[in-house]
Amino acid sequence: MPEFLKLMPPDEATKMFFDHIPPARPRTENIPTVQALGRVLAGPIVAPETLPAFSRSTVDGFAVRAPDTFGASDALPIYLDLVGEVPMGAKPGFSIEPNHAAIIHTGGMLPEGADAVVMMEYTQMARANEVELMRAAAVGENIIKAGEDVLEGQEVLAGGTRLRPAQIGGLLALGITEVTVSIPPRFGILSSGDEVIPPEQRPKIGQVRDTNSYSLSALIEQNGGQAVRYGISPDNPEALRSMVEKALAENDAVVITAGSSASTRDLTSKIINELGKPGVLVHGVNVRPGKPTILGVCDGKPTIGLPGNPVSALVIAGLFVRPVVRYLAGMPAGEPRAFVPARLSLNVSTPDGRESWVPVRLIAGENGYAAEPIFFKSNLIFTLATADGLIKIPAAANGLAAGEDVRVYLI
Amino acid sequence: MPEFLKLMPPDEATKMFFDHIPPARPRTENIPTVQALGRVLAGPIVAPETLPAFSRSTVDGFAVRAPDTFGASDALPIYLDLVGEVPMGAKPGFSIEPNHAAIIHTGGMLPEGADAVVMMEYTQMARANEVELMRAAAVGENIIKAGEDVLEGQEVLAGGTRLRPAQIGGLLALGITEVTVSIPPRFGILSSGDEVIPPEQRPKIGQVRDTNSYSLSALIEQNGGQAVRYGISPDNPEALRSMVEKALAENDAVVITAGSSASTRDLTSKIINELGKPGVLVHGVNVRPGKPTILGVCDGKPTIGLPGNPVSALVIAGLFVRPVVRYLAGMPAGEPRAFVPARLSLNVSTPDGRESWVPVRLIAGENGYAAEPIFFKSNLIFTLATADGLIKIPAAANGLAAGEDVRVYLI
């Protein structure tokens, strides 16, 4: 098995792979901000204006000069002259002179002269034009100052940010109704195998439906890429070569979900080497499932040969395709990954010193979750379809014992 | 402040709210499976066929009858007659008789008579028609049996499943190229406030742009709902009432991102009570930020009054709107929530015994992440836009000290 002489650890394989991918230069387009959820900013966003543009009250109450309220208490209230009510959405027509106060609502503009607001609940009307304060206010209390949120010219969002709901709101608050985002990188996807047929066909005996190219497309789209499917190539060097060549010409990256046999892997590897430099970088990764993974770069375009088994294909896509999609879309590396902590419910043995990813189901219990490993053959399509997540067993361990704490990465 | 006489703890508020929402009966539609990523299955999926349909090899090697290989070793190999090669994608034209073997590739159909496969690496060709086995195979070794993945009639996915990549693949493997999914529940969204203007307008002094209805729309869409924006109502009972009435008639639920002033809240509450039974269920939740939350049901339709402050609005939307979207889309409650564990970098004090949600930034360090709290006023729009996640400080705590372990829920 010459191609497995050197199985590379996953981390090393990732480094080797990314070291050969040129800096991402995503194409960009301008789109309305309201449609930009999940899209990736092409560059940093600089505030075109100051936010808020004026000092505002954060409560319902009375706008005052803070020193006028000092010492006010239930026992010794302070009385100020009521000079008006701040209208919502407009400039107050008055200013606050010493010993003056004005009714102000949440969001109302602080009148000239005022520097604090006393909350309504600590006040009462003494006479028609006099308010009684039972509490003092410090300078700045219950107000938000002009520019306290954002100053004009400040960078508010970094390039590469994948936009979330709060950020859509933030952009619109600044009047940014259009944003420049990266166009999702295009991933050409090919399947190969004489036994593989499109899913809408009924398999004859010995045939199986293509599923990897569809689950892979979904994973690519989920992570901000665009999947372009090229269909199924027979196990025939010329046919596969010309399909890969076409896919490389038309996309930013190519993924081949090859058959799992050694001859198919060798063919995929040979074609990647022929179609661009440096060609195959990694052939065989020390991970289970997914050992027969091929990572290459053809003239600057990442080209990946995924194992044919559905579980292997998706685990490996999570390890190597997902980061490439994010990288080519312009997102920064090293984002935090959330997980669900759980207690392993059964022993899992990984005797061969290979990093292992094991599908688990999460079972809610009184003291948190149990992670129930799904003992799987990587050919079983419904293993991952019925799992909640994956746990990683490091290469150094020989497995994990029931009762150990594990991190379940949801899938 | 009569409306805050009774602040309800968030868990209790959720229970009270959901107890009054009728069982979800989402409308459904049929769509191609390849477009169903993130959509919610309207009912369970039952396998229309057995998978795999035939027993297959999981490796490259030789199909054998296992008993013929017993005792084989490097020192004492066993020799079998080579009777052919299994073609890919077709039925083998032969069966395996005692002491026979046939070349088989990964995914190849196991010939009649064979019950195991010996891996290629433990074999060599002895003569033209004889293979030498250096390893024995147990019955079932290196094969996947017909039906081992799924049996015809078996329920493979539950109704309410939000489809992931692996499940798209699983459905297609069964030839299910169309699925019945729920139509995303429609959420009518209204803003109110005399000071609020659409984001494309330039605010005059005293005015602010509407952002909550857009960040909220994004949150609803992210969770599988459809947002329908009704624009901005002035702080005027008749105008707001007729907008809410129209939104209730045209949607499955309504969210009003009201102004934050007590009078606006009272108005929202009054309108919810007028427009349907039972009306307002919760007015004021014991949570920070987001105390002035209104939860109601109008003739079966969840109707929520969100605080006007952007941070409060999104935190509360995460607590109350998100679960309603998922419920109305037909998803089961109680899904596991993943988080990033981190160490708090600064003390956070929450002296008032109220459950608190604090935005934090995650800072990667050598020993995992530090969570740096963003000290915020809930009026500051960019607080959440620049945060990585939220931490929860329970009502019983009076805060958390620097160095404590926290769970950061990514936003």
Higher model confidence: residue A139 or residue B396? A139
Are B88 and A193 in contact (CB < 8 Å)? yes
Mean pLDDT, range A80-87, rounded to an integer: 95
User: Up-side HSE of residue A184: CA atoms within 13 Å toward CB?
Assistant: 17
Looking at residue B56, what is its pLDDT? Answer: 92
Instruction: Outline which parts of chain A fall under CATH 2.170.190.11.
Output: 56-144
Looking at residue A215, what is its pLDDT? Answer: 96
Looking at residue A235, what is its pLDDT? Answer: 82
Are A196 and B105 in contact (CB < 8 Å)? no
Looking at residue A404, what is its pLDDT? Answer: 95
Closest Cβ opposite residue A90 in set B206, B260, B341? B206
Mean pLDDT, range B155-175, rounded to an integer: 96
Distance CA A157, CA B388 (A): 12
DSSP state of B323: H
Where does A66-213 show beta strands of DSSP type E?
78-85, 100-104, 116-119, 123-127, 130-133, 143-144, 155-157, 178-182, 186-192, 196-197, 208-209
Q: Is the pLDDT of residue B381 over 80?
A: yes
Looking at residue B244, what is its pLDDT? Answer: 97
Closest Cβ opposite residue A107 in set B1, B88, B193? B193
Instruction: State how far residue B17 is from chain A, nearest Cα, in angstroms.
Output: 23
**Picking from A125-129, B276-280, B324-328, which range would have the lowest pLDDT averaged per residue?**
A125-129
CATH superfamily of A2-26+183-328: MoaB/Mog-like domain (3.40.980.10)
Q: Count residue pairs from A and B with Cβ separation < 8 A.
A: 305
Q: In whole numbers, what is the pLDDT of chain A averaged over residues?
A: 93
Looking at residue B4, what is its pLDDT? Answer: 47
Q: What pLDDT band is residue B195 in, cutting at 50, 70 and 90?
A: confident
Distance CA B320, CA A344 (A): 32
Give B79-109 pLDDT, tens digit per residue.
999 999 999 888 999 999 999 999 999 889 9
Helix H or strand E segment including B356: strand B355-365
Q: Is the pLDDT of residue A179 over 50?
A: yes
In chain A, the residue whose alpha carbon lies closest to the alpha carbon of B120 is: A1
Looking at residue A227, what is its pLDDT? Answer: 98
Looking at residue B128, what is its pLDDT? Answer: 87
In chain A, the residue whose alpha carbon lies closest to the alpha carbon of B37 is: A218
Looking at residue A102, what is its pLDDT? Answer: 97
Are B88 and A214 in contact (CB < 8 Å)? no
Give A338-389 pLDDT, tens digit per residue.
999 999 999 998 877 889 999 999 999 988 999 999 977 777 889 889 999 9
**H helix intervals, B26-179:** 165-173
Question: Taking a C-beta distance cutoff of 8 angstroms, is the pair A62, A141 a contact?
Answer: no
Fold of A340-410: Beta-clip (2.40.340)
Looking at residue B206, what is its pLDDT? Answer: 85
Q: To 10 degrees, the CA torsion angle through B398, B400, B406, B409?
A: 60
Instruction: Outline which parts of chain A fall under CATH 3.40.980.10.
Output: 2-26+183-328
Fill in the amino acid letter for A285. V
The complex's ipTM works out to: 0.91
Give A272-283 pLDDT, tens digit per residue.
999 999 999 999
* Residue B406 with chain A: CB contacts under 8 Å: none
Q: To 10 degrees, the CA torsion angle through B402, B368, A18, A332?
A: -20
Q: Bridge partners of A297? A: A279, A302
Looking at residue B82, what is its pLDDT? Answer: 96
Q: What pLDDT band is residue A333 in, cutting at 50, 70 and 90?
A: confident
Looking at residue B259, what is its pLDDT? Answer: 65
Mean pLDDT, range A248-262, rounded to an integer: 87
**Chain A contact probe: residue of B1, B157, B168 with most A CBs at under 10 A:** B168
Q: Which of B204, B268, B274, B198 is nearest to B229 (CA)?
A: B198
Both tokens of A77, joined, read 């209230």
Q: What pLDDT band is residue B3 in, cutting at 50, 70 and 90?
A: very low
* Residue A387 with chain B: CB contacts under 8 Å: 166
Looking at residue B260, what is its pLDDT? Answer: 60
Kindly indicate whether the domain formed by B29-51+157-182 is annotated with CATH number 3.30.930.10. no
| Helices and strands (DSSP H and E) totals, chain A | 8, 28
Looking at residue B396, what is its pLDDT? Answer: 86
Looking at residue B187, what is its pLDDT? Answer: 98
Give A225-252 pLDDT, tens digit per residue.
999 999 999 888 999 999 999 999 999 9
Instruction: Outline which parts of chain B fall under CATH 2.40.340.10.
Output: 340-410
Looking at residue A106, what is its pLDDT? Answer: 86
Give A291-303 pLDDT, tens digit per residue.
889 999 999 999 9
Question: Taking a C-beta distance cutoff of 8 angstroms, is the pair B203, B232 a contact?
Answer: no
CA dist B199 to A201, B82, B207, B360, Å?
50, 76, 11, 27
Give A1-37 pLDDT, tens digit per residue.
344 457 899 999 999 999 999 999 999 999 999 999 9
Q: Is the pLDDT of residue B5 over 60?
A: no
CA dist B6 to B19, B148, B223, B283, B284, Å?
19, 57, 31, 8, 7
Higher model confidence: residue B393 or residue B194? B393
Looking at residue A3, what is its pLDDT? Answer: 44
Are B89 and A195 in contact (CB < 8 Å)? yes
Fold of B56-144: Molybdopterin biosynthesis moeA protein; domain 3 (2.170.190)
* Residue A314 with chain B: CB contacts under 8 Å: 165-166, 169
Q: What pLDDT band is residue A205 in, cutting at 50, 70 and 90?
A: confident
Instruction: Outline which parts of chain B fall under CATH 3.90.105.10.
Output: 29-51+157-182
Closest Cβ opposite residue B164 in set A338, A364, A411? A411
**Picking from A21-25, A172-176, B98-102, B396-400, which range would have the lowest pLDDT averaged per residue?**
B396-400
Give B268-281 pLDDT, tens digit per residue.
999 999 999 999 99
Percentage of chain A lying above the pLDDT 70 cut: 98
Looking at residue A181, what is its pLDDT? Answer: 98
Looking at residue B18, what is its pLDDT? Answer: 97
Distance CA B312, CA A166 (A): 11
Looking at residue A377, what is its pLDDT? Answer: 73
Please report the sign of the dihedral spanned by the C-alpha atoms of residue B271, residue B272, residue B273, residue B277: positive
Distance CA A133, CA A120 (A): 9
CA dist A215 to A49, A100, A160, A252, A389, Å?
44, 68, 26, 19, 16
Distance CA B85, CA B105 (A): 9
**Picking from A163-172, B249-258, B371-380, B400-409, which range would have the lowest pLDDT averaged per residue?**
B371-380
* Residue A200 with chain B: CB contacts under 8 Å: 175, 177
* Strands lying side by side in the sheet with A61-64: A116-119, A61-64, A100-104, A78-85, A130-133, A123-127
Mean pLDDT, range B166-180, rounded to an integer: 96
Looking at residue B2, what is its pLDDT? Answer: 43
Mean pLDDT, range B282-296, rounded to an integer: 93
